[in-house]
Each structure stands twice: as structure tokens, then as C-alpha cells.
């Protein structure tokens, strides 16, 4: 009988992307990560590197200048980037997040207008849903969109918007009437420099220091009518469909962080000697890394399977049981990343706690993967809903 | 406590998988369907009685043999089906939903622990005498490695086999032997050169009725009730030359090779049992009301089920990945060890949570969840302890072992 391998091995192309990304990450990003984590300056050189290597094209369909690769390829690339630095991987993940509403909700003209420059990385995208008073409860957003003649006028504040201060294209979710709940929400593309759109502050965070997280203010910000994606009241659906598909990117980031911390800790255990032998020879530590490696591999297999399932459904609406897999992958990978990075710090002892070694940064960065793009509590809601009906 | 009827779990209301896994092809799914029907018709209805009786009829082996299920990966020339690992997985997953972990274990010991070394190292004569009847379910197999003083440390066994004219004489005691009472043929590991450590171990096929071989006692266990666990005694037991399996002195290596497959099927089996526990918990929280609404409407309950589902799915995907590596002929040591470590720990945690979600009913013997809880607990020990698995995983990662320990169990 033939060997059952269909759909399992990474394709040649996916393996090639993994090799390329690992080489880029180790050569160009790893040596920079500590420095920009310290200064908090956004690494434009990394953006330039991604542009030159065409990595932004992984986020966009082929018809609009994208690479025409699948979701698993993007996940593998994000994983490899996050293995050395989560901030660098987030540059790509946010480009996907900001592009998805246009891919999923835009008409042909809108796609042709915005996607090609996002595919080259010439322009950066952002996704603006969260507000000071509406986080997990996204349907409660208060930013208003009012039709005035041939314009939409936006009024309100968005918070915790990754790349909000540097993005050229921001997809903003706003309601025509809060009383309508999620049915009143629309999705609007706001370009950088539009009058009435400003950045009111950039957050100081525990991790992801070089990734700007901004508060955006819309004060009489006018955009043309054709900047609305989808029909009347379809914005919430677009937002949810986007998040359903972007979860694997966060899971991939978490997986990469965990793998990076594990690899670093293993290298350290082989070098460091105490009590006359390498730390690697102590069984108590061997068992810790065995558990870490096992959890990381389980994360990887769950994520890759979720990516394949989602990919089979194209850009259409995902059935609940497929969404469940995306949510399970995000939940599981991020929880594992937190545990594994915490253990990696432990394995390095005092050295784990100082910035000379990257594991403390990985531990700080891992934490956000349990929170953003749907807290893990929200992931559990998604999973439970599909189990319990 | 009010009288209740435990839900008849297992086959009813089973959820279709999100998508057929790419490794399972239509022929695997057809096999799965066959096993599912067989289990529903011939095993599930009696499982509870067999568990209480602490035994199941040996006819079960014949029944499975008649349906070609005992030699799924055995070559067709030896009476097997000549199928692949995913056929085994489909069979194992369905069998573990029969309502008795012990029965499933007894069958796995026969098909995936004892049989593979017989197929691989057996002579044509041994294939005819042992493999073919085993595939038909006419002769039940056991494998005897563990001794009172040697569990994980297989090289430390003390049972000896002394060369005599025309054969060997075995002396020693084996314990924790699954199928120890019902087996017709026991594959016994013994020292032919007691000074040579692992290089002094050889394998013998001891047949029921051979003078000097007896089952000294049965050992009572927390779970796996329908499966007999025996202590076997060999006292000047003469075994003819034709019953030596493989090369003398190579027994340790003959067995190490098959432990990988054993661990893979255990991992697949416990995922199936945990899946059933999860489904029982979902059904229970949907039907049980408290404070005016179903338990399923409490978010704390929903989120626990979500965690259980996510962890179980990660374990399942890890098992499938390990199986795929086995099937593809890739190095699968690390993958299988990880799969068993994750699957068994996750399964026990899920069974425990499922019991918790059943409240007081979960602790009664009327509900099935306690049986799964008891049964899956074994596998953090049996088939390679958690500790031995981590030992191998960390060694595979290039960390030196803390001692020159060998790895073996059974």
C-alpha cells in the first residue's frame, strides 16, 4: 500500500520559505533584536528587508500582486521570524491583519486600489477595532460614522492599534448608530494624512517594545463613500471573518517564540557547567526541556493542521468547526509559549533574568500572544460555542 | 443519591470530525466503519459485564480475527491484511470506544506488542506455528519482559535461559504481564548470558502447557478490569530450539525496535478514550440543569470544555504526525515519545475534568466516565513511564543522559 503522506510533509516551496526566512532572521534580525527592543525604535530596516525579499506578498492573493502561497506558508515564515524576534514577525502578521478586511470585504476596485501596494510592502496596513471601552466586546464600539453628502465622517478613538502610528492604510470599524449593535458597524479605509486623523499617543508596553501600539483619534475625519468595505452594516462580519483567519498568524508567532526560547535554553544547558558537569547532564533539567519540546511540537502540529483546514476553505466564510481549530491553535500555542519561555528563563537562572540573553525578551513578548487578536478567554468562547451549540 | 441511569456512551451522538484527516484515505475510513459496527454490535453491549467479571471471553479474539483485524500490518503472505499504520490507528481508535480499556489493551498487546517481533524475526516455521494462528485469533499472545526487580531497566532482568541439549531451560519470574492468564503463547525475555547486560538477552516462545511454566497469580488493578494481569513463573521450563526467536543475545534490540509501535498505538488509544470522556462531559452539561439553566450555559463550564478540546486536539495532531513519520520511514523516535507523553497526560487530565463536570454522578460506577478515568491512568506508567519518555526525548535533543541507562519496559 502506498505511503500515506498526502498533505503532511511541508511542500518544497514551504521548506524553501522556511530555509530562506531562517537565514534572513539569523543573519539580519537576530543581531538587531536586542538593540531595538532597548531603544523602542521601529525597525524600518526589517521592513526594507521584507520588501526586498517579497515577504509581504505572502499576505495577499495572487490576483492583487500577492505570492499566491497558502496560509501555512505564511505561518511557517512568521514562525521562523518569531523564533528570533516577535516584533519582526508581527510586522508581517499585522500586514496580513490589515489586508484581510480588504481581501474579504472589498469590491474589485477597492482591492485593486489598496492591495498591490500592501503586497509589496510599499505601504503598511493596520486594523483598528479596539476602543477604550470596547475590547473583547467589539460590538460595543462607539466610534461614529456619519454620512454627509458624498463623504463618511468618522468621530471617535481607537486604542491599542498595532502599527497605528506608522501605517499608511488603516481599516477603521465605526458604527452608524450604537443602538443597532453589531448590525450598525461598517468598515472604513482611512489613509495616512487624511485630515482629522491623528495619533494621540503611543503606548509603553511590557514587551514588543519596538512595535508601535497607538491610540488613534478621528475628529471630523472625512473619507469618500467608496472607502467603505462591504455593504451597510457588514463591518462587524468583516471584522470577525478577519480575526477568524488571522488567529493562525498569532499562533505561529507564539510557536516561533517558544521554539526560539527552547533552542536557546538547550544551547545554554550544553555550555553551562555547575557541580563539575554540564547542566545538560542533570536529569531534572533534561525533563524540563523534554516537556518543553513536546509541548512545542504539539503546538506546531495543531497549528499546521488548522492552517490546512482554513486554506481548504479559501477566503469564504469558515464553518464553525474550522473556526474552532483556528481558536484552538491560538489558545494552545500561546499558552505553550508562555509556559516554555517562563521555563527557559528558569533554565538560564540569573542569566535568564538579564537582558544579555534573549529569553527574558521572549518571555515578555510571549505574554501578549495570550491577549491580542482575541484573548484566550474569547478563544475559549469560540471553541465552547462550537462544541455546545 | 437518586437512582440514575448512566448514559449509554460510545456510539450515539458522535460528532463527525471537522474534516477527514489527510492521512486517512477512503479505505481507512471503510475499515473504521467496519470496526465501529463490530464494536457497537458485539463488544459495547457486554463491556460493562466483562469489566465487572474482570474477564472477557477469548472468543473476542476469534471474532476480530475473522474480520481480519488482528493482522492489519502483517503481510498478506502470512494471513494478514498488508495495510499500513493508519489502518492500525483507525482500528485502535474505534476499539478504544468499546467500553472497556482492558479489552482494547489485551488486543493491542496481541497485535502490536507481541506480534510484530514474531513477524519480523520469526522463521518460516515460527510464522506458521505462531503468526498465522495469532492473526486468526486462535492463539492469544503475551509478551513478558518486566520482572519484580526490573521494570524500566530491562537490562536488569534476572530470568535465565540455560543451554541444554536440544533447547533451553528457563528459570525466573515475570510480573505485570497482560494476557498472562489467557495467553497461549508468551514471548519471554531471558538472560542467556547473565554477565553481558543488555547484550545477554534472548527471546523465547513459551507455550501454554509446557512443563515448568505456570501463571502463579493474577494481580488486581485500579483499572483495565477486563484484562488479566499475571505473574508468570518459570521453573526448569524446557523450551525447544525451535522456540528461540531471533538471534541469541539480540533480544534487547529485537524488542527495542517494537516498543515504538506499541507506544504509538497507546497514544492513539488514549486520545480516543479521552475523546469519549469529552463527549460524555459535553452531553452531561447539556442535559444537567442547575440554578435554572443547563450547566452548558455557565461560562466557567464552557471555557473548561474549550480547554479540554484544544488540548485533546493538539495531542491528536501530534499522534497523527508521529504515525505519519512511522509510515514514511522517517526517524520517529522523538515524535512517538512526544506523542505518547502528551497523549497520555492529556487524556488523564481530560478524563479527570470530565469526571469533575459530572459532579457526584462522575464518581458513581453507573456512569462511564470513571471507567475511562481509571483506565487511561495506566498509560502514564505502562508502555514506557512518563519519566522514561522524557529521558529519551532529552537524549534525542542532544542532552547527555545522566547515566548510561538503557530503555526498556513491558
Do residues A346 and B264 make contact, with C-beta atoms less than 8 angstroms apart?
A: no
Give the nearest partner residue to A293 out of B302, B314, B393, using CB atoms: B393
Burial call A340-375: b when 16+ CB within 10 Å, e when fewer: bbbbbbebbeeebeeeebbbbbbbbbbbbbbbbbbb
Pair A170, A221: CB distance under 8 Å: no
**Sign of the torsion formed by the C-alpha atoms of B171, B173, B177 and B182:** positive
Q: What is the pLDDT of residues A284-316, one digit of tens each?
A: 999 999 999 999 999 999 999 999 999 988 888
Residues above pLDDT 90, as percent of chain A: 93
Contact A301 B321 (CB under 8 A): yes
pLDDT score at B11: 41
Handedness of CA B20, A387, A242, A203 (dihedral sign): negative
- What integer pLDDT is reported at residue A389 of this predicted model? 82
Count of CB atoms within 10 A of residue B231's CB?
A: 20
Residue, of A239 and A316, whose pLDDT is higher: A239
- pLDDT of A80 over the 50 cut: yes
E strand segments, A263-308: 273-274, 277-278
Partner A, chain B 288-307, Cβ-Cβ below 8 Å: 296, 299, 302-303, 305-307
A382: chain B residues, CB-CB within 8 Å: 306
Contacts of B367 (CB under 8 A, 6+ apart): B4, B6, B7, B280, B358, B361
Question: Do the Cβ atoms of B22 and A388 come within 8 Å?
Answer: no
E-state strands within B221-348: 229-240, 244-245, 289-290, 293-294
Contact by Cβ (8 Å): A174, A154: yes
ipTM of the complex: 0.75
Whether the CB of B169 is below 8 Å from some CB of chain A: the reply is no
Query: CB-CB: which of B19, B399, B401 is closest to A289?
Result: B399
Dump pLDDT digits (tens) for A333-354. 999 999 999 999 999 999 999 9
Instruction: For residue B331, list chain A residues with Cβ-Cβ distance below 8 A.
Output: none
Give the whole-number percent of chain B exceeding pLDDT 90. Answer: 86
Nearest CB neighbour to A380, from listed B84, B306, B394: B306
Dist CA B40 CA A123 (whole Å)? 60
> Mind telling me the catalytic residues of B?
262
Nearest CB among B25, B85, B390 relative to A290 is that of B390
Query: Considering chain A, what is the average pLDDT of its residues?
Result: 95
Chain A closest-CA separation from residue B328 CA (Å): 6
Contact B272, B97 (CB under 8 A): yes
Helix (H) or strand (E) holding A173: strand A169-175
pLDDT of residue A160: 96
C-beta atoms surrounding A388 within 10 Å? 17
- What's the pLDDT band for A126 if we cut at 50, 70, 90? very high
Q: Which residues of chain B have pLDDT under 70?
A: 1-20, 400-410
Q: Is A131 a catalytic residue?
A: no
SS3 of residue A316 by DSSP? coil
Three-state helix/strand/coil letters over B127-161 = HHHHHHHHHHCCCCEEEECCECCECCCHHHCCCEE
**What integer pLDDT is reported at residue A257 of this predicted model?**
98
Beta strands in B159-313 (DSSP E): 160-164, 167-178, 185-191, 201-207, 213-218, 229-240, 244-245, 289-290, 293-294
Q: Do A6 and B338 touch (CB under 8 A)?
A: no
CA distance B85 to B91: 10
The count of CB pairs under 8 A between chains A and B is: 162
DSSP A87-119: HHHHHHHHHHHHHHHHHHH--HHHHHHHHHHHH
What is the phi/psi pair of residue A329, to 5°? -65, -45
Nearest to B274 by CA among B239, B302, B314: B314
Q: What angle do CA B110, B116, B118 make, to 5 degrees?
A: 90
Taking only the tens place, the pLDDT of each residue in A132-177 is 989 889 899 999 999 999 999 999 999 999 999 999 999 999 999 9
Backbone φ, ψ for residue B163 (5° rounding): -70, 130
Residue B268's nearest CA partner among B338, B329, B340 is B340
Q: Which residue has the higher pLDDT, A249 or B12?
A: A249
* CA-based R_g, chain A, Å: 21
Task: Tell me the C-alpha distance between B404 and B398, whole Å.
Answer: 14
Amino acid at each position: 500500500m502506498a505511503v500515506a503522506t498526502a498533505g503532511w510533509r511541508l511542500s518544497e516551496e514551504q521548506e524553501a520559505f522556511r530555509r530562506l526566512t531562517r537565514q534572513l532572521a539569523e543573519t539580519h534580525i537576530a543581531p538587531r533584536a536586542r538593540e531595538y527592543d532597548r531603544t523602542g525604535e521601529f525597525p524600518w530596516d526589517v521592513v526594507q528587508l521584507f520588501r526586498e525579499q517579497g515577504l509581504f506578498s505572502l499576505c495577499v492573493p495572487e490576483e492583487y500582486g500577492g505570492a499566491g502561497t497558502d496560509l501555512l506558508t505564511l505561518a511557517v515564515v512568521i514562525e521562523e521570524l518569531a523564533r528570533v524576534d516577535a516584533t519582526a514577525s508581527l510586522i508581517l502578521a499585522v500586514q496580513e491583519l490589515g489586508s484581510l478586511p480588504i481581501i474579504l470585504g472589498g469590491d474589485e476596485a477597492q482591492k485593486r486600489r489598496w492591495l498591490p501596494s500592501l503586497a509589496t510592502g510599499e505601504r503598511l496596513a493596520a486594523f483598528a477595532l479596539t476602543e477604550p471601552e470596547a475590547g473583547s466586546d467589539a460590538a460595543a464600539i462607539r466610534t461614529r460614522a456619519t454620512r454627509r453628502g458624498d463623504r463618511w465622517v468618522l468621530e471617535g478613538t481607537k486604542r491599542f492599534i498595532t502599527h497605528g502610528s506608522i501605517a499608511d492604510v488603516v481599516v477603521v470599524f465605526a458604527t452608524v448608530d450604537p443602538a443597532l449593535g453589531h448590525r450598525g458597524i461598517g468598515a472604513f479605509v482611512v489613509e495616512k494624512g487624511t485630515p482629522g486623523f491623528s495619533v494621540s499617543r503611543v503606548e509603553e508596553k511590557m514587551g514588543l517594545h519596538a512595535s508601535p501600539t497607538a491610540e488613534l483619534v478621528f475628529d471630523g475625519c472625512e473619507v469618500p463613500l467608496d472607502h467603505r468595505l462591504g455593504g451597510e452594516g457588514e463591518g462587524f462580519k468583516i471584522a470577525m471573518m478577519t480575526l477568524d483567519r488571522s488567529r493562525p498568524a498569532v499562533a505561529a508567532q507564539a510557536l516561533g517564540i517558544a521554539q526560539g526560547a527552547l533552542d536557546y535554553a538547550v544551547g545554554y544547558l550544553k555550555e553551562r557547567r555547575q557541580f563539575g558537569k554540564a547542566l545538560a547532564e542533570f536529569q531534572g533539567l533534561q525533563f524540563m526541556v523534554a516537556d518543553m519540546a513536546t509541548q512545542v511540537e504539539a503546538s506546531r502540529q495543531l497549528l499546521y493542521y488548522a492552517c490546512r483546514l482554513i486554506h481548504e476553505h479559501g477566503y469564504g466564510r469558515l464553518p464553525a468547526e474550522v473556526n474552532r481549530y483556528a481558536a484552538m491553535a491560538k489558545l494552545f500555542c500561546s499558552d505553550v509559549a508562555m509556559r516554555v519561555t517562563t521555563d527557559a528563563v528558569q533554565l538560564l537562572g540569573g542569566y535568564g533574568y538579564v537582558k544579555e540573553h534573549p529569553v527574558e525578551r521572549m518571555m515578555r513578548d510571549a505574554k501578549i500572544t495570550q491577549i491580542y487578536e482575541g484573548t484566550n478567554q474569547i478563544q475559549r468562547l469560540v471553541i465552547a460555542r462550537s462544541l455546545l451549540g | 443519591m437518586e437512582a440514575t441511569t448512566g448514559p449509554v456512551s460510545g456510539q450515539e451522538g458522535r460528532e463527525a470530525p471537522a474534516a477527514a484527516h489527510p492521512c486517512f484515505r477512503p479505505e481507512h475510513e471503510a475499515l473504521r466503519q467496519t470496526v465501529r459496527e463490530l464494536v457497537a454490535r458485539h463488544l459495547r453491549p457486554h463491556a460493562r459485564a466483562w469489566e465487572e467479571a474482570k474477564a472477557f471471553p477469548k472468543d473476542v479474539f476469534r471474532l476480530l480475527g475473522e474480520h481480519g483485524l488482528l493482522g492489519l500490518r502483517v503481510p498478506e503472505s502470512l494471513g494478514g491484511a498488508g495495510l499500513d499504520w493508519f489502518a492500525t490507528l483507525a482500528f485502535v481508535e474505534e476499539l478504544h470506544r468499546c467500553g472497556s480499556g482492558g479489552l482494547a489493551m489485551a488486543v493491542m498487546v496481541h497485535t502490536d506488542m507481541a506480534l510484530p517481533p514474531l513477524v519480523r524475526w520469526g522463521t518460516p516455521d515460527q510464522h506458521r506455528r505462531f503468526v498465522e494462528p495469532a492473526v486468526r485469533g486462535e492463539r492469544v499472545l503475551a509478551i513478558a519482559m518486566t520482572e519484580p526487580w526490573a521494570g524500566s531497566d530491562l537490562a536488569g532482568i534476572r530470568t535465565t535461559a540455560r543451554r541444554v541439549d536440544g533447547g533451553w531451560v528457563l528459570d525466573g519470574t515475570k510480573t505485570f504481564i497482560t494476557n498472562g492468564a489467557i495467553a497461549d503463547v508468551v514471548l519471554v525475555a531471558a538472560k542467556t548470558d547473565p554477565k553481558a547486560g543488555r547484550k545477554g538477552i534472548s527471546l523465547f516462545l513459551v507455550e501454554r502447557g509446557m512443563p515448568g511454566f505456570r501463571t502463579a497469580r493474577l494481580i488486581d488493578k485500579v483499572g483495565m478490569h477486563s484484562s488479566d494481569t499475571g505473574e508468570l513463573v518459570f521453573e526448569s521450563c524446557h523450551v525447544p530450539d525451535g522456540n528461540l526467536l531471533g538471534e541469541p543475545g539480540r533480544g534487547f534490540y529485537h524488542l527495542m525496535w517494537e516498543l515504538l509501535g506499541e507506544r504509538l498505538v497507546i497514544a492513539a488509544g488514549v486520545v480516543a478514550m479521552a475523546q469519549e470522556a469529552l463527549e460524555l462531559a459535553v452531553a452531561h452539561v447539556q442535559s444537567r440543569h442547575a440554578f435554572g439553566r443547563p450547566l452548558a450555559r455557565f461560562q466557567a463550564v464552557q471555557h473548561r470544555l474549550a480547554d479540554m478540546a484544544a488540548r485533546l486536539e493538539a495531542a491528536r495532531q501530534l499522534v497523527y504526525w508521529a504515525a505519519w513519520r512511522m509510515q514514511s520511514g522517517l526517524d520517529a523516535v522523538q515524535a512517538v515519545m512526544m506523542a505518547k507523553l502528551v497523549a497520555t497526560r492529556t487524556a488523564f487530565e481530560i478524563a479527570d475534568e470530565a469526571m469533575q463536570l459530572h459532579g457526584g454522578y462522575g464518581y458513581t460506577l453507573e456512569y462511564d466516565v470513571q471507567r475511562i478515568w481509571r483506565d487511561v491512568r495506566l498509560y502514564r506508567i505502562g508502555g514506557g513511564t512518563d519519566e522514561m519518555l522524557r529521558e529519551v526525548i532529552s537524549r534525542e535533543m542532544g542532552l547527555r543522559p545522566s547515566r548510561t541507562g538503557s530503555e526498556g519496559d513491558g
